[in-house]
Structure formats: structure tokens, C-alpha cells
């Protein structure tokens, strides 16, 4: 005769292995929260500790790197990269952005719908990277503060991940847990009913309560051009405090600079001035020459230089025996101004402008730097870059093309003048066809999800969506290694009995044996962890716990796992809760409290909605 559940008692000895796994888990979470080290490095070190202590066998430790979930996420990075590289995502974002009008409420609805739609099929970070320039342009045209729209943009990208199986990695994680347990998995659109409700609640909340809580720090200057995504040259120069710092000088005969290269002169390090352009006047008129360290200066050349140091300019004129033509000069039409933002996880974070050497990498000259929308007045080249910093750069047309494709390290958010070219590449139509085919195959269950994704990624490369090694570069290897390294940690929790210990304590706790209480607990823990660590890592750790609890209590695992997936997409309450929050924090000039007061309310709203709707869609009875 079975003992009633309420009278059962589970005893688990705290073995050495349990202590080791618990310490590794806590240390990993703390390191993730502190965010002082790369996530993949932290996860891999944790994996090595478990391997060296003998808790995991080599086969178990390396199982994550061959797991179908990891392969599918890598394939989705390639598919998403092809959508971005071909211009399809940019075109969709700009087309949807034109519907915005000038009403703040209407703009909020359009921005959130567009962001959620893209995020259902792209990564949330890629979605915000596409939509950020569009939203900033809409703000300028409508004279609306960016702070009113950028948090809704980020939140909608997270909510959009709730719409499909591939919307966000935690959805695929809970699906993999079901597959590994030999249970029926979620279908491609199983998340859609709950996701649509959460998105609707999010839009309604942001259009009513949320918009009142968001700061109105500044409005558009009204100087923006009518071309979407492009601003006027005076507006950019003024907003970065560069007015009066661009001068024009001439190299006369007899100058000590004549016949020498820019590398030889070391103008930036010796005289603290930046050369923006070099012009030569000849029989064919004035020609703006390529400006690089090997550019040879000749008598009669004119240089556009930027410096805020009057003494440095005086020394330059005196020692070089050069002429000052204009103390306030205009840039030639061949030189464009643009605005960049440093995204989270950029390789440039922590490095100075001088260390990065934007001119060597992109052919762009950094004119000014802003931190939290405040210009860095002096020592711009020696200031370490942090996520959210924005830079004003001068570049030619080819340099702008390179910058547009460098979404992982720098994000081009506004340009001084539009380049009249088609945003679509020749492979764009094939990208759309392959994407639609992948979605049909996954939603109809024609082939396994991982097969559909890997086939689509392969076809994207064959169709020419990428050039060279760009397909490899589109994969976020930090995320892949982190996920593959964290998955064996879940195995260690189960293998050592740590997971059973936690499950037993929860089952024995009064008030937590009801399914609704468990759903509440799992949602709260997952949502809380997602504010501090990767939502994927959170899903990997919590999903097996949800499955074990369901098995122990004899209830269906589907509502609990759906609750975990939804909760993992509620990283709203801090600017560091997710990369997309950090990405908009600088551009919107938000403070920590802005995310807190809006995000906590939205999280609570999603929590109550989950408790109400998930048991109806996925009953607790097995």
C-alpha cells in the first residue's frame, strides 16, 4: 500500500559530490551575476571542475557540444544572420516603421508589434539591432523622446520570444527536456496562444501605465531630415559638442610636413589632433584622397582636422609651418558623419578608442564619444568603452558599408546622409523562400526541428546569403559554448542526487504540493534568476527541476515547463537583465530605476496572466 504523499519523507545524505555540485552551481551563478568574465569562460571552467573532480565522465561532460539543441541554436544563428545580411530584416523594420505616425501611443503599438514579430523568428538582440535605428528615426520625425519608445522596444523583443518554438532558447530548452524524457514535445506554435496574450497585455500596459512611468528626458530637435534613419550633419555635430572643433589647414611650400606621411607625423599622438580628410587641388578640381597612415602629404594639400585643444593647434601650425585657412570648416560631401553605439558583448568593451583603432578596422575616424548621452570632453581616445556608449564618426561610403555589417561589435544607429542603394542583396528572395520553407517544415512536423534548421542554414550559405566566413561570424560562439557547458551541470545535479534533494524539499513543504503553487514558485524563481543571469542558463537549470516535480506529484509537466519558458522571457526589471536592455539603456538615457518601476509591474502582470491562462491551455491532469 502506497504511503499518502503528505506523509512521505525523503532523506538524501549530503554527500561530498552534492557539496561539490552545489558549490559549483552557486559559484557559476555568482560569476554570471557579477558579469566580470565572459559567460562561456565561466561555464567552461565550471564544466572542467566537474570533469576533474570525477563527478562527470568525459562522455557526460562533452555531451552538450553534440546535443541537438545546441546544434539547432547554432543553425538558427546562421539563419538569423542570413536574414540580417541580406537586408530582409532591415527592409521589414523600415517598412513597419513608416506606419508609426506622430502619436506616442500609435508609435508604441507599431514598435512593439514590429519588434515582437521579428523576435518570433530572430534573436531578440538581432531584432533590437535592426529596430533601434528605425525607432530613433521615428522619434526624431515625431519629436518624441526616445526614452518613451526604447524600453517598449526591448520589452516587446522579449515578449516576441514567447510566440514560437524558436523565438528564444529557453523555449527550445524546455522542449528538449520533454524529448529527453521520451514525452511528446511542444509544437512550433504551441507557445503562440499564451504568447499572444502576454504580448497583448504588454502592449496595453505600456500604452497606459507604462508610458506614464517612462521618463520624458528629451525630445527630437526637429532638425532631422525626412529620410528615415538619417539625421542632418549640423544636428550630429551639435549633439556631440563638436561645434568649432573642425578646422581646415593648408600645407604650403616649405612646410616641414610636406613629403611626409601621416604615420610619420603622428599627429594624433604628438599634437593631439585627428585628421578627417586630405584634399588635393589639381587640373580636375579638388579631389578628396583616401586618408590612411600611408597618405603622403604634398605642398598645396588641405587637411580637415579635429581638435578641442587650442594650444595643440597653435603648436601644430608653428612646428609644421602650415596655414590655418578656417577655424570652423565644413566637411566635404565625400565624408559622411554617422553615429555608432557599443552593444553588450562587443569585443570593444573595456578597450579605449585608441586601442580599438577604428580607422584601421573600418576606415572611420572617431570624432567624439558620449557616455550616457553626455559628451566626453577630453581624452576621448583614452576613455574605456562601455555598453551603451555612442560615438560620432567620420567615414566614406565604403567604410559605412563595413560598419552596417558589424552588428556584433558596433551598431550603426544613424547616418548623416542616405546612400541611394537597394537594401536587399541578390540572395534576399532565396533567403525568404528558405525561411518560409523552414517554418512550414517545423510547424507541420515534416522533419525533426534540428533537421529543418540545419538544412535551412546550409541552404542560406549555398544561396549566397553570406560572403566568405560571415556565416561563421554570425554565430554567437559565446552563447553556444556557454549553453553546451551549462547543460552537463544539469546532468551533474541529477546524477549526484542534488536535484532529487531539492525536489524532495519542495514536495515536503506545506502549501507547495498544489499544482498552482508549484507553477507560481517555478515562475518566480525563473523570472528572478533571469534578471541576473542568462535566460538560457536559467532554463537549463530550472526545466529539469520542473519535470522532476511533475513526475513526483503525478501531474502533467507541460504547464510547469510552459511557465518556465514564459518566465525566462521576463527579464524586464534591470538594465543588465538582458543584452537588449543594456543596448537601449544608453540610447534612451535610462536609469536603473526606470527599468525597475516599469519592469516589476509588467513581470507581475505576466505572472498573474500565466497562472490564469496556462492551466487552461495545458491542464495539470496527466
Distance CA 111, CA 117 (A): 10
Looking at the structure, do residues 319 and 364 belong to the same domain, yes or no? no
The predicted pLDDT at position 466 comes to: 81
How does pLDDT run across 44-94, given as a tens digit for each residue?
Answer: 999 999 999 999 999 999 988 888 888 888 888 888 888 877 878 777 766
Of the candidate ranges 196-200, 475-479, 593-597, 617-621, the one whose mean pLDDT is the lowest:
475-479
Looking at the structure, do residues 375 and 295 belong to the same domain, yes or no? no
Q: Write out the residue range of the structural domain in which residue 393 sits.
A: 336-415
Looking at the structure, do residues 499 and 613 belong to the same domain, yes or no? yes
- For the cut 50, the answer to whether the pLDDT of residue 417 exceeds it is no
Looking at the structure, do residues 322 and 366 belong to the same domain, yes or no? no
Query: What is the DSSP code string of 390-430?
Result: EEEEEE-HHHHHHHHT-TTT-EEEEESS---S-SS-TTHHH
Helix axes 150-160, 104-119, angle to 10 degrees: 30
- Per the CB < 8 A criterion, the answer to whether 617 and 194 are in contact is yes
How does pLDDT run across 449-471, given as a tens digit for each residue?
Answer: 889 889 999 999 898 888 766 78
Looking at per-residue pLDDT, the higher value among 559 and 324 belongs to: 559
- For the cut 90, the answer to whether the pLDDT of residue 489 exceeds it is no
The predicted pLDDT at position 152 comes to: 93
Residues 6+ apart with CB under 8 A from 86: 424, 425, 427, 428, 431, 465
Distance CA 391, CA 393 (A): 6
Does 227 map to a domain? no
Does 143 map to a domain? no
Does 117 map to a domain? no
Of the candidates 1, 15, 18, 5, which has an alpha carbon nearest to the alpha carbon of residue 508?
A: 5
Looking at the structure, do residues 539 and 561 belong to the same domain, yes or no? yes
Read off the pLDDT band of 280 (50, 70, 90): confident
Does 196 map to a domain? no
**Averaged pLDDT, 302-318:** 77
Which of the listed residues 326, 354, 376 is the one where a domain comes to its end? 326
- For the cut 80, the answer to whether the pLDDT of residue 532 exceeds it is no
How does pLDDT run across 238-273, given as a tens digit for each residue?
Answer: 767 776 677 778 888 888 888 888 777 777 777 777
Of the candidate ranges 72-86, 354-368, 498-512, 538-552, the one whose mean pLDDT is the lowest:
498-512
Domain containing residue 261: CATH number: 3.30.70.1450
How does pLDDT run across 97-137, given as a tens digit for each residue?
Answer: 666 666 788 889 989 998 999 888 888 887 887 788 778 77
How does pLDDT run across 208-227, given as a tens digit for each residue?
Answer: 999 888 887 643 333 333 33
Domain count within the chain = 3
Looking at the structure, do residues 322 and 352 belong to the same domain, yes or no? no
Looking at the structure, do residues 522 and 582 belong to the same domain, yes or no? yes
% of residues, the chain, pLDDT over 90: 19
**Averaged pLDDT, 582-598:** 81
The predicted pLDDT at position 286 comes to: 67
The predicted pLDDT at position 131 comes to: 81
The predicted pLDDT at position 420 comes to: 42
The predicted pLDDT at position 218 comes to: 44
Q: What angle do CA 449, 158, 469 make, to 5 degrees?
A: 55
Q: For the chain, percent helix, then strand, then coil, each to nearest 5?
A: 55, 10, 35
Distances (CA, A) of 195 to 110, 156, 368: 17, 11, 42
Looking at the structure, do residues 598 and 520 belong to the same domain, yes or no? yes
Looking at the structure, do residues 595 and 502 belong to the same domain, yes or no? yes
Does 348 map to a domain? yes
Looking at the structure, do residues 298 and 410 belong to the same domain, yes or no? no
The predicted pLDDT at position 352 comes to: 85
The residue whose grid cell reads 534578471 is: 531
Which of the listed residues 400, 415, 430 is the one where a domain comes to its end? 415
**Averaged pLDDT, 494-503:** 78
- Per the CB < 8 A criterion, the answer to whether 215 and 594 are in contact is yes
Does 356 map to a domain? yes
Which of the listed residues 415, 442, 463 is the one where a domain comes to its end? 415
Q: What is the pTM of this model?
A: 0.75
State the first-to-last Cα distance of the chain, in angstroms, to the nearest integer: 22
The residue whose grid cell reads 566637411 is: 331
The predicted pLDDT at position 7 comes to: 42
Looking at the structure, do residues 599 and 517 belong to the same domain, yes or no? yes
Looking at the structure, do residues 297 and 401 belong to the same domain, yes or no? no
How does pLDDT run across 155-178, given as a tens digit for each residue?
Answer: 999 999 999 998 888 999 999 999
Does 267 map to a domain? yes
**Averaged pLDDT, 512-527:** 87
Amino acid at each position: 500500500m502506497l504511503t499518502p504523499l503528505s506523509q512521505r519523507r525523503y532523506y538524501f545524505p549530503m554527500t561530498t559530490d552534492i557539496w561539490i555540485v552545489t558549490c559549483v552551481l552557486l559559484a557559476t551563478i555568482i560569476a554570471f551575476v557579477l558579469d566580470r568574465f565572459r559567460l562561456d569562460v565561466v561555464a567552461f571552467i565550471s564544466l572542467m571542475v566537474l570533469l576533474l573532480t570525477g563527478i562527470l565522465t568525459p562522455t557526460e561532460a562533452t555531451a552538450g557540444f553534440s546535443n541537438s539543441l545546441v546544434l539547432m541554436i547554432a543553425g538558427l544563428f546562421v539563419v538569423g544572420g542570413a536574414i540580417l545580411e541580406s537586408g530582409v530584416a532591415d527592409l521589414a523594420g523600415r517598412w513597419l516603421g513608416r506606419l508609426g505616425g506622430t502619436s506616442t501611443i500609435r508609435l508604441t503599438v507599431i514598435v512593439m508589434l514590429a519588434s515582437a514579430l521579428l523576435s518570433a523568428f530572430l534573436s531578440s538582440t538581432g531584432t533590437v539591432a535592426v529596430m533601434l535605428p528605425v525607432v530613433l528615426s521615428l522619434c526624431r520625425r515625431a519629436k518624441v523622446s526616445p526614452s518613451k519608445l526604447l524600453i517598449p522596444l526591448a520589452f516587446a523583443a522579449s515578449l516576441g520570444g514567447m510566440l514560437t518554438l524558436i523565438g528564444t532558447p529557453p523555449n527550445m530548452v524546455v522542449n528538449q527536456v520533454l524529448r529527453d524524457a521520451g514525452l511528446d514535445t511542444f509544437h512550433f506554435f504551441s507557445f503562440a496562444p499564451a504568447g499572444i496574450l502576454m504580448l497583448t497585455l504588454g502592449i496595453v500596459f505600456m500604452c497606459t501605465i507604462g508610458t506614464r512611468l517612462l521618463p520624458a528626458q528629451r525630445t527630437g530637435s526637429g532638425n532631422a531630415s525626412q529620410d528615415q534613419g538619417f539625421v542632418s550633419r549640423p544636428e550630429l555635430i551639435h549633439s556631440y559638442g563638436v561645434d568649432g572643433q573642425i578646422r581646415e589647414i593648408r600645407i604650403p611650400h616649405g612646410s616641414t610636413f610636406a613629403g611626409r606621411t601621416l604615420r610619420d607625423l603622428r599627429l594624433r599622438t604628438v599634437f593631439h589632433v585627428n585628421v578627417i580628410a586630405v584634399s588635393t587641388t589639381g587640373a580636375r578640381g579638388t579631389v578628396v584622397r583616401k586618408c590612411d597612415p600611408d597618405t603622403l602629404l604634398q605642398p598645396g594639400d588641405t587637411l580637415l582636422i579635429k581638435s578641442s585643444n587650442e594650444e595643440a593647434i597653435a603648436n601644430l601650425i608653428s612646428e609644421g609651418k602650415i596655414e590655418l585657412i578656417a577655424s570652423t570648416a565644413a566637411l566635404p560631401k565625400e565624408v559622411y558623419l554617422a553615429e555608432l553605439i557599443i552593444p553588450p558583448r562587443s569585443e570593444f568593451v573595456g578597450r579605449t578608442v585608441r586601442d580599438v583603432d577604428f580607422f584601421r578596422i573600418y576606415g572611420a575616424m572617431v570624432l567624439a564619444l558620449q557616455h550616457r548621452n553626455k559628451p566626453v570632453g577630453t581624452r576621448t581616445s583614452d576613455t574605456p568603452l562601455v555598453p551603451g556608449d555612442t560615438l560620432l564618426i567620420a567615414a566614406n561610403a565604403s567604410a559605412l558599408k563595413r560598419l552596417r555589417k558589424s552588428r556584433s561589435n558596433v551598431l550603426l544607429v544613424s547616418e548623416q546622409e542616405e546612400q541611394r542603394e537597394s537594401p536587399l542583396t541578390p540572395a534576399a528572395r532565396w533567403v525568404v523562400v528558405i525561411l518560409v520553407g523552414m517554418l512550414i517544415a517545423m510547424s507541420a512536423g515534416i522533419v525533426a526541428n534540428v533537421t529543418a534548421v540545419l538544412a535551412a542554414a546550409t541552404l542560406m550559405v549555398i544561396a549566397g546569403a553570406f560572403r566568405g566566413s560571415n556565416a561563421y561570424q554570425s554565430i554567437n560562439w559565446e552563447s553556444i559554448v556557454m549553453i553546451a557547458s551549462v547543460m552537463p551541470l544539469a546532468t551533474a545535479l541529477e546524477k549526484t542526487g542534488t536535484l532529487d534533494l531539492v525536489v524532495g524539499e519542495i514536495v515536503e513543504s506545506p502549501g507547495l504540493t498544489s499544482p498552482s503553487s508549484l507553477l507560481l514558485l517555478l515562475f518566480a524563481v525563473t523570472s528572478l534568476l533571469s534578471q541576473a543571469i542568462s535566460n538560457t542558463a536559467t532554463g537549463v537549470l530550472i526545466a529539469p527541476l520542473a519535470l522532476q516535480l511533475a513526475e513526483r506529484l503525478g501531474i502533467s509537466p507541460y504547464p510547469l515547463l510552459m511557465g518556465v519558458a514564459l518566465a525566462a522571457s521576463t527579464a524586464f526589471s534591470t538594465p543588465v537583465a538582458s543584452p537588449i536592455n543594456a543596448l537601449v539603456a544608453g540610447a534612451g538615457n535610462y536609469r536603473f530605476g526606470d527599468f525597475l518601476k516599469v519592469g516589476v509591474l509588467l513581470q507581475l502582470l505576466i505572472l498573474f496572466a500565466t497562472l490564469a491562462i496556462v492551466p487552461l491551455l495545458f491542464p495539470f491532469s496527466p
